[in-house]
Amino acid sequence: MPKEFSVDLRWRVVYLYYDDLSTVDIANTLHMSKSIVNKIIKRYNRWACVENPFKGIPGRRKQFSNEDLEILRNLITEKVDWYLDELVYEMECITGKRVSVAALWRSLQYLGITRKKLHKAALERNEIIRAHYLATIGEHYTQNQLIFLDESAKDERKGFVAVDIFEGSCDRKKFVDFVLDQVVPIMNPYPGDNSVIVMDNAKIHHDNELVVLLEELGCRVVFLPLTPPL
């Protein structure tokens, strides 16, 4: 039976690919075959998701009504940079109908919403978000205050300020333990040096208890926009 990779690990393939790593480098970094890497990238480029869009959904097949399609049209206007699987989940929450990614994509095509239009709109919106984020960071914080935290966190001025190496993907517990054991000891209350932690929007980073703890220690926590600045 082929090895099953987690959704988070498959998303990591996409992130590394758009960081200009070759498929060979991605395969070596994540310990998976080049064919799997190519398959994940191909699926993402076509369907904007990393899971099989044709995977069967149990229960009676449900189709969107005209009212549902109007909800979808409004939703895609507000959430133009969302992934298709996120739209599937949101539509289920609103309408109570769960469809496959492929079915949702067909609904978008029926509405005349193409991937090209979505991509163009997302780029325009993301440029605004990036500009606002960079302006906010530049206005409120200094270089010495910022600690950028990720699974491969690195401070270009000082090198690695904290590092942990382990086999397999990083889950929330490993991430929280790493922050508490290795990052918190070098942090200072705001507005001192190393007083602002900047993280992306990976699910494992959104731990409310950790954020509250950091804020109680006097630190600030800033999340990157959904599409990080280049």
Residue partners of 154: CB distance under 8 A and separation at least 6: 148, 160
Q: In whole angstroms, how far apart are CA 165 and each of 108, 153, 173?
A: 43, 12, 14
Residue 129: pLDDT above 70?
no
Residue partners of 61: CB distance under 8 A and separation at least 6: none
- Exposure letters 160-184 (e unless 16+ CB within 10 A, then b): ebbeeeeeeebeeeebbebbeeebb
pLDDT in tens, 148-186: 876 553 444 445 566 666 556 667 788 888 889 989 999
With 0-12 / 13-18 / 19 or more C-beta atoms within 10 angstroms meaning exposed / middle / buried, residue 66 is exposed
Instruction: Return d(Cα 66, Cα 47) in angstroms, integer.
Output: 23
Q: State CA 59 to chain mean position distance.
A: 29
Query: What pLDDT was estimated at residue 5?
Result: 80
- Please give the biggest Cα pair distance in the chain: 58
Residue 218: pLDDT above 60?
yes
| Residue 222 phi, psi dihedral angles, 5° rounding | -125, 130
